[in-house]
Structure 1
Amino acid sequence: MVLKVEYLSVTYAQKTAVNRISFQVKSGQVIGLLGANGAGKSSSIAAVLGIEKSTHDELVIMDKSPLRNRKEIFEQVGVQFQETHFQDKLTVSDACEQWKSLYKKTADVPTLLQTFGLAGKEKQLIKLLSGGERQRLAVLLALIHEPKLVFLDELTTGLDTKARRMLWKHLLAMKADGLAIVLTSHYMDEVEALCDEILILREGQTVFHGTIQEALVASGKTTLEDAYLHFAGEEEQW
């Protein structure tokens, strides 16, 4: 088991942002963490990474605590946040070198640049890249140390169709090689393309956890988008 979360809760002041959620991720598995804005997705990820304080019955990554064994976990986990802020004068090459310096072992950077469509952009300032190029760079940096587990937060927001499908293709290849992924996304076609299981949160609580087919059956809907809206409580708004 790459990641095991049992009864995780996060509280801010008097508000419970995440209420006793549980899930597991195996090697080569992708789980989608879904929900409306404010449902608790980002708080859950931050708590799993030890960034936010939480209570839990069990929280282990590769059989170790992300709270007590941060250095060892850091070497094996990658994170792409929804917004990655880079220094103004940083080039693509500079960013790759900075991230490489954080780890003992890294992948071949020219190969990664080629894979993510950034070859030839090494000397370009990151601030001058397109939104899609910056997003691909953020994913590349999350994978530069060949982690066993990666958290991808709104993976393809702002990307065109071609770029989205390119990213999916590469992630599916990495998944086949054993990469475990926790993905948040508002795009149901992306969820269908990548996820083995989904966990839908509503106001911090799990309202569904299972496969996409199980979500369709349980909701009585014919599409994942309709099933998601049903469980997330968003269909009433329409």
Structure 2
Amino acid sequence: MNQMLHNIKKTSSELGIKDTLLYIFDRLLYKISFKTLILHKYYITQQPVSQDCLVPAGKGGDIEIAQIGPDHPLLQQMDRPFSVLQKRFANGGHCFSARKGEQFAGNLWLNFDKYQEDEVRCTYVLQPKGQAAWDYDVFVLPKYRFSYVFAKLWDEANKVMRQRGIGHVYSRINYYNIASLQAHKRLGSRIIGSLFFINLGRFQCAISLHFKPTLTFSLNRDVFPEVHIGATEEH
């Protein structure tokens, strides 16, 4: 009992009261529904494409950043099923890889104009068209998390986005993923809204007070309703 209270107190200090209660409610629903009822809450973040380099001149010279395609051998070292990575490319994904020597060190993915969610059924449509990107699965191997890998990945991604005339990059972050929220905040990111998804078997309901449409329903696993994310949205 004392351990449970300690865990709740710790979670509350990280998430705040509202998200802590949501987390407890979510876990309870998941258990009593025999893992069939799942609640997702995402924060949508927006950050400006940086005009400056994050890595000081002369630093991180042993880290190689490259944009790789669906046939690159480095994909085999990534912590994702190969079929998932191929689907990302098919859906317009652009993969930036980091390596030290011949070893994979991290990756960052971007989509331009739209992104098909891989956790729920949803396609984020970014507006204005041609001026926004979506970042996801930013990952650095634990042993390189105190190196320049993360910063060099973002430097390369920002360079590509500047060349395309993109002003903002968006992301969705699980409400309980404090580490990711803080990492994005350090890059100048801010929360512009939230989305709720309720999944029960094939049924899905999506709710948002910040983006359009406000409410969508889906019974078809192959249909991904669109949610429009624009640069004028406010939290």
For the aligned pair, the TM-score class normalised by the smaller chain equals under 0.3
Give the structure-1-normalised TM-score: 0.25
Quick check: which has more Rg, 1 or 2? Answer: 2
Structure (1 or 2) with the greater helix fraction: 1
Using structure 2 for the length normalisation, give the TM-score: 0.26
Is the strand fraction higher in 1 or 2? 2
